[in-house]
Amino acid sequence: MLSIFLNLIAALFFTGIVIRTKSLASGRKGPGILQPVRDVVRLFRKGAVYSETTSFIFQLAPTVYFASVVMALMVVPFGKSPGVLSFNGDFIFFAYVLALGKFFSIISALDTGSSFEGMGASREALYSMFAEPAFFILMGSLALLSGHTSFQEIFASLHIGSQISYALAALATFVLLMIAMIENSRMPIDDPKTHLELTMVHEVMILDNSGFDLGLILTAGYLKFALYGALIVNLFIGVIPYQYAIPAFFAIQFLMAVAIGLIESFMARFRMSHNPQFIVVLTSVSLLIFFGVLLILQKFV
């Protein structure tokens, strides 16, 4: 329960911090931290324009997308306190319920019959296919290391002690961060600020959404950031008491937002055709984690 509350707060500021970091890095003053939230509130108050090509799928999809992110949020733990739902194998549910949202956002893009939105849909489907194995191997390795199969138990019983485990934690952070970038359609996979439809992934899929629906999609995006940030936080805080864990949570989320802002300021987006290769690299990095875990457990004789 606590994790939902904390994540909601983090989600309020996360995107704002990213944007602020980017504007500071490029020498501008930039909008206030809460500007993304104000945008969403404004969108919720607006009417809507629907394409005449679309069907009820287009109207239903943002709702399902949002609901899927909220469901994923429910299984994410926070340190000692498990998520609203916590069970063995909840990370499988986590990945698959997010896939439900993706499925709907892809078909809603195809529903418009647009010449651009199919492009984004096609890329989204392909990238998420490539990104999922990395997540499953990572969680599998952690499950193997800790001997548990639910988020909370895995994170609670991870002991970062030896040198190999420091390396593993660093790699795991890298993988989770990159998965977060892919899932949230940020650099270096996707450029949310590009003005050319041909080079967009996520943005081009929601070209036709407006009003309440667009608000839902944006909110879901903010929540998704906090979601993956929370996973990284969990990797480090273990079962330390709340008075340390809660500040640590916000500190790490803040660091992550700043890091994303900096990455976006100083890196260019990859060529579209190189993206799949990059994402497959994540899978190999997570395999590296798996072999590291085998080393720790002395399975190599």
Partner 1 sequence: MNLITTFVLIPFVGLLLLPFLKVRLKGVLTLVLLTINVMISGYMAVQSLTGNPVSISLPGSYVTGIIPIRIDALSGWFILIINLVFLTGALYGYSYMKSYRKRTNSLTLHSFAFLLQHASIISVCGIQNSFVFLIAWEILALTSFVLIIFEHENPVTIKAGINYLIQAHFSIVFLIVGFLWVINKTNSYDFQAITTYSSSLPGMASLILFLCFFIAFAIKAGFVPFHTWLPYAHPAAPAHVSGMMSGVIIKAGIFGILRMLLIIKTDYVAVGFLILIVSVLSGLYGVMLAIIQHNLKKLLAYHSIENIGIIGIGIGLGAIGTGMGNPTLATLGYAGALLHTLNHALFKSLLFYTAGNVYQATHTMEIEKLGGVIKKMPQTAMLFLIAAIAICGIPPFNGFISEFIIYTGLYSWLSDGTLFSLLAAIFSTIGLVAIGGLAMICFTKAFGTVFLGTARHTLHAECQEVKFIQLLPSYILALVIILVGIFPMLFIHLLAEPVSLFTGTVQILTNTPQNSVFTALQPISWASWILVALVIGLYFIRQNLLKKRRVEVGPTWGCGYVASTSKHQYTASSFVRTYSKLFAPVLIVNKEEAIVHGVFPSEARYHTQPYDKLEKGLIDRVLKLNKRFMGRFVFLNNGKLQFYILYGIIFILTVLGIPLLYRNLESFIDIFKLL
- Residue 56 CB contacts under 8 Å (≥ 6 apart), including other chains: none
Binding span for partner 1 by CB under 8 A among 2-10, 15-23, 107-115, 161-169: 107-115
Distance of CA 113 to the CA centre of its chain: 28
User: Pick from 155, 181, 172, 184: which is nearest to 90 by CA?
Assistant: 155
Residue closer to partner 1 by CB (options 121, 256) is 121
Name which of residues 148 to 167 contact partner 1 (CB under 8 A). Answer: 149
- Estimate to the nearest angstrom the gap between the alpha carbon of 96 and the chain centroid: 14
Site for partner 1 in 160-219 (CB under 8 A): 197, 207-208, 211-213, 216
Alpha-carbon span 80 to 196, nearest angstrom: 45
Residue 135 host element (H or E): helix 117-146
Residue position matching structure tokens 């002395």: 298
Q: Which 3 state secondary structure label does DSSP give 56?
A: helix
Least distance from partner 1 to the Cβ atom of residue 212, Å: 6
Shortest distance, position 143 Cβ to partner 1, whole Å = 6
Beta carbon of residue 164, minimum distance to partner 1 (angstroms, whole number):
17
Residues 225-254 close enough to bind partner 1 by CB under 8 A: none
CB of 264 to partner 1, least distance (A): 24
Least separation in angstroms between CB 232 and partner 1? 21
How far apart are CB 43 and partner 1 at their closest, in Å? 11
Residue whose CB is less far from partner 1, 187 or 293: 293
Of 20-28, 136-144, 176-184, 246-254: span binding partner 1 (CB under 8 A):
136-144
Which CB, 190 or 264, lies closer to partner 1? 190
Among 78, 116, 155, 228, binds partner 1 (CB under 8 A): 116
Going 92 to 286 to 181 to 110, the CA torsion angle's sign is negative
Give the gyration radius of the chain's Cα atoms: 19
Pick out residues in 74-93 that bind partner 1 (CB under 8 A): 74-75, 85-90, 92-93
Let me know: does 119 contact 198? Beta carbons within 8 Å: yes
Minimum CB–partner distance for residue 276 and partner 1 (Å): 6
**Of positions 31, 103, 171, 295, contacts partner 1 by CB under 8 A:** 103
- What is each CA distance from 68 to 78, 94, 197, 209, in whole angstroms? 19, 9, 26, 18
Span 32-61, contacts to partner 1 by CB under 8 A: 44, 46-57, 60
Q: 266 to 295, contacts with partner 1 by CB under 8 A?
A: 272-273, 276, 283, 287, 290, 294
Cis previous bond, 31, omega within 30:
no
Q: How far is the CB of 188 from partner 1 (least distance, A)?
A: 17
Binder of partner 1 out of 114, 152, 219, 253 (CB under 8 A) = 114
Q: Which is nearer to partner 1, 174 or 212 (CB)?
A: 212
**Structure tokens given for 135:** 């997540």
Question: Which of 180, 182, 185, 188 shows the shortest CA–CA distance to 231?
Answer: 180
Provide the β-strand partners of residue 78.
Answer: 81
Tell me, by CB under 8 A, how many residues bind partner 1: 83
Judged by CB, which is closer to partner 1: 144, or 246?
Answer: 144
CB-count burial class (<10 Å; 0-12, 13-18, 19+) for 5 = exposed
